[in-house]
């Protein structure tokens, strides 16, 4: 089975969901798990949302399976998208919360941003203080300089991703 890694995407809700918003995120995940079907812990929401004209966009993170016998994150993404766009004919329309998922939008995978790549790079051992202990390598204090460079690049990358 070809694993695709974790997937981050966006779902769109109608504005009428606002009266359910307090417990909405927890209930949505609880209802989606048996509908896809997948296991607890594979779907995650950060409870941030964005207003988009007359709709609400929410972020959903699909964790990759740790077991080769489980659905991959890509499978879950595809199943979820199909369930939503065919809402009139699937169990999505039966849930008191999943019914608010917009069938004209489905599940849209978010692109990985430069900021996310830089956050991954900054944790690689060659770019961290883990190698500071090796004095022969650190004669020019290069790791300290690289820390400052990556901090600046991450900040500028986040700024560009947000505003451009």
The yes-or-no verdict on residue 128 having pLDDT over 50 is: no
Identify the residue with better confidence: 41 or 49: 41
Kindly state the average pLDDT of the residues 96-110. Answer: 90
| Secondary structure in 3-state letters for the chain | CCCCCCEEEEEEEEHHHHHHHHHHHHHHHHHHHHHCCCCCCCEECCCCEEEECCEEEEEEEECCCCCCCCCCHHHHHHHHHHHHHCHHHCHHHHCCCHHHECCCCCEEECCCCHHHHHHHHCCCHHHCHHHCCCCCCCCCCHHHHHHHHHHHHHHHHHHHHHHC
Identify the residue with better confidence: 89 or 24: 89
CB burial string 120-154: b at 16+ within 10 A, e below: eeeeeeeeeeeeeeeeeeeeeeebeeeeeebeeeb
Structure tokens that stand for 106 in this block: 């489905």
Backbone angles phi, psi at 141, to 5 degrees: 60, 35
How far apart CA 16 and CA 103 sit, in angstroms, is 15
Question: Length of the chain, please?
Answer: 164
The pLDDT tens digits for 137-164 are: 545 555 555 555 666 666 666 656 665 5
The pLDDT tens digits for 71-90 are: 999 999 999 999 999 999 99
């Amino acid at each position: 089975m070809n694993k695709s890694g974790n997937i981050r995407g966006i779902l769109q809700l109608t504005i009428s969901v606002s009266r359910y918003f307090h417990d909405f995120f927890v209930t949505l995940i609880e209802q989606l798990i048996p509908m896809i079907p997948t296991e607890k812990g594979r779907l995650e929401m950060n409870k941030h949302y964005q207003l988009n004209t007359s709709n609400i966009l929410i972020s959903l993170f699909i964790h990759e399976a740790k077991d080769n016998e489980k659905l991959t994150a890509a499978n879950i993404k595809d199943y979820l998208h199909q369930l939503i766009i065919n809402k009139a004919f699937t169990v999505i329309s039966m849930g008191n919360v999943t019914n608010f998922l917009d069938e004209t939008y489905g599940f849209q995978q978010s692109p990985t941003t430069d900021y996310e790549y830089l956050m991954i790079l900054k944790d690689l051992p060659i770019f961290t203080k883990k190698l500071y202990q090796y004095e022969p390598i650190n004669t020019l204090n290069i790791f300290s300089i690289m820390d400052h460079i990556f901090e600046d690049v991450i900040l500028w990358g986040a700024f560009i991703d947000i505003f451009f």
